[in-house]
Structure 1
Amino acid sequence: MTDPLFDLTGKVAVVTGGSRGLGRVMVEAFAARGADVVVASRKIEPCEQAVAEIAQRHGRRGLAVACNVSHWEQCDALVDAAYDAFGHVDVLVNNAGLSPLYPSLDQVTEALWDKVIGVNLKGPFRLASLVGTRMAAGAGGSIINVSSIAAIRPTPAELPYAAAKAGLNTLTEGLARAFGPSVRVNAIQAGPFLTDISHAWDLDAFTARAKETIALGRGGEPDEVVGAALYFASAASSYCTGAVLRLDGGVR
């Protein structure tokens, strides 16, 4: 039985970057508590697989949509598809993100800069603006932006990404003011999570560094995002908006 405080029965949740990593975990958590889900990512096949698994495990309806959020016409199409399929959206999670490596700051190309800003800031602004406007005109809802500890602890290796996430934190408060009182807008400021992206890390070096730089001494497991996601998506956070929640194990 789902605690009534976190019950999402009858709700519709749209999750970008929803076919893998933290997005996939959030999709699963929402469906397990009664929500129908829209799974969006650049590639349609993983989205379709996620939707099929959700239907099999939880009996919830799903919609798979291919969407590169850095293109506003694709954001518009995603929103239209969600409303056409379900008639309403109650939860939007702006989770899609990327942070490409670069050899040095002076070799950051304009194309890389634009790509990082497009996915991490431009797309979330467009989606939140479209969905938030519809939510505010209807029954309200919740928008969750997935930010990063890089927004407040930037390193030279990820400055474009850090700048975009800092912008997303700013958008979170501004959008909360724009769409209140019926729409809540909050952010999960994530630290290092051991999703599939961590397979490319030197895990021995990360583990050693984490013991010195993270209060909990480790990276997060993907399902450890679920509590924060459910809090912001549900009535549990009914008096919380414009908040940026650090979920980073205590990065120093």
Structure 2
Amino acid sequence: MSSSTARTVADAVAETRASGAPLAGRTALVTGGSRGLGREISIAFAAAGADVAIVSRKKDACAELAAELAEATGRRVTGHGAHVGEWDRLGELLDEVEDGLGPVDILVNNAGIAPVYPSLDGVTEELFDKIIGVNLKGPFRMMAVAGKRMAERDGGAMLNISSMASGRPTAGDLPYAAAKAALNTLTAGFAQEYGPTVRVNTIVAGPFRTDISKAWDMDAVDEMARSWPSRRVGEPSEVVGAALYLCGPTASYTTGSLLAVDGGRLAAP
């Protein structure tokens, strides 16, 4: 690094100390924000100084968490009901959030579904379209409308929550895995389209103990996890560090990236 771009030690220390509220002054919208990974991200963002809009199909659950979080952090936190698979609803949702909290400069596409089905030939067109709608079509539309607004203002950050299934698909999750693989591709495309002021990144999540995991054979999953570097399944709170980094100021040169938070699952044989 040349002397013209090097920070002084004093400047570096001051910036580090100021990072206690790295998202202060920011407004975040988190889909699937009332439970699982989305709940943990919503809590962490408010604790880091952001105002937060919590979105899911169950508005009451979002409103309940929003009230609790606002009281605990002193931030403005709102709850919103929306199905991310409904294309026309998403522009309205963004208007609704911005009317209450101001311009959104952080978007987290966390909402997702991974329904169990009996066999690949037993997957109906309705189920396939539902999986694609929530896991791919919704995030595409959210990034298109939110990213354009961010680019026209001072910029922002968009974060997708993908899955290790995008790189390790099985017959039991193939439509979901395909949607998440496509979401990884969207990350690169939107980073190109809305850069340099809007950053777009993805967390490739491994197995976490969330509501989705209740449908799993956890004995089998725990046995499989013994071959991973972590030797275990993740807890939802363990996604927080990566989310804060990718949406925060210290990731200013990170965009179009896929960050695995999977306990080493993708590194395992």
With the length of structure 1 as denominator, give the TM-score of the two structures: 0.96
Counterpart contact for 2:191–2:200, Cα < 8 Å = yes
Deviates more, 1:191-200 or 1:150-159: 191-200
Which amino acid counterpart does residue 191 of structure 2 have in structure 1?
A
Question: Displacement of 1:194 after TM fit?
Answer: 1.0
* Partner SS state of residue 156, structure 1: coil
Identify the structure with bigger relative contact order (alpha carbons < 8 Å, sequence gap 6+): 1
Match of 2:243 in 1: 229
Question: Displacement of 1:201 after TM fit?
Answer: 2.6
Q: Which runs of 4+ in 1 moved over 2 A?
A: 196-205
Counterpart contact for 1:120–1:165, Cα < 8 Å = yes
Encode CA deviations 1:196-233: one digit per residue, 9 max, x unaligned.
32233332222111102x22111111111001000011
1:245 corresponds to which of 248, 251, 259? 259
Question: Displacement of 1:64 after TM fit?
Answer: 1.0
C-alpha distance 2-34 of structure 1, shift in aligned 2 (>3 A)? farther
Deviates more, 1:120-129 or 1:5-14: 5-14
Question: Displacement of 1:95 after TM fit?
Answer: 0.2
Counterpart contact for 1:6–1:231, Cα < 8 Å = no
Which amino acid counterpart does residue 91 of structure 2 have in structure 1?
D
Question: Displacement of 1:164 after TM fit?
Answer: 0.3
C-alpha distance 22-168 of structure 1, shift in aligned 2 (>3 A)? same
Matching of residues 50-199 of structure 1 within 5 Å:
50-199=65-214
* Partner SS state of residue 172, structure 2: helix
Q: In the aligned structure 2, how far is the partner of 1:124 from the partner of 1:192?
A: 21
Residue identity (%): 54
C-alpha distance 141-11 of structure 1, shift in aligned 2 (>3 A)? same
Match of 2:225 in 1: 210
Q: In the aligned structure 2, how far is the partner of 1:2 from the partner of 1:249?
A: 29
* Partner SS state of residue 10, structure 1: coil
Superposition RMSD in Å: 1.4
C-alpha distance 25-15 of structure 1, shift in aligned 2 (>3 A)? same
Counterpart contact for 2:31–2:38, Cα < 8 Å = yes
Which amino acid counterpart does residue 222 of structure 1 have in structure 2?
P
Q: In the aligned structure 1, how far is the partner of 2:181 from the partner of 2:217?
A: 26
C-alpha distance 120-240 of structure 1, shift in aligned 2 (>3 A)? same
Return 5+ residue gaps in structure 2 as ranges.
Answer: 1-15
Q: In the aligned structure 1, how far is the partner of 2:18 from the partner of 2:220?
A: 40
Which amino acid counterpart does residue 92 of structure 1 have in structure 2?
L
Encode CA deviations 1:116-168: one digit per residue, 9 max, x unaligned.
00000000000000000000000100000000000010000000000000000
Q: In the aligned structure 2, how far is the partner of 1:219 from the partner of 1:236?
A: 28
Work out which of the two has the higher radius of gyration on C-alpha atoms and give 1 or 2.
2
Counterpart contact for 1:6–1:230, Cα < 8 Å = no
Q: Give the aligned length.
A: 251
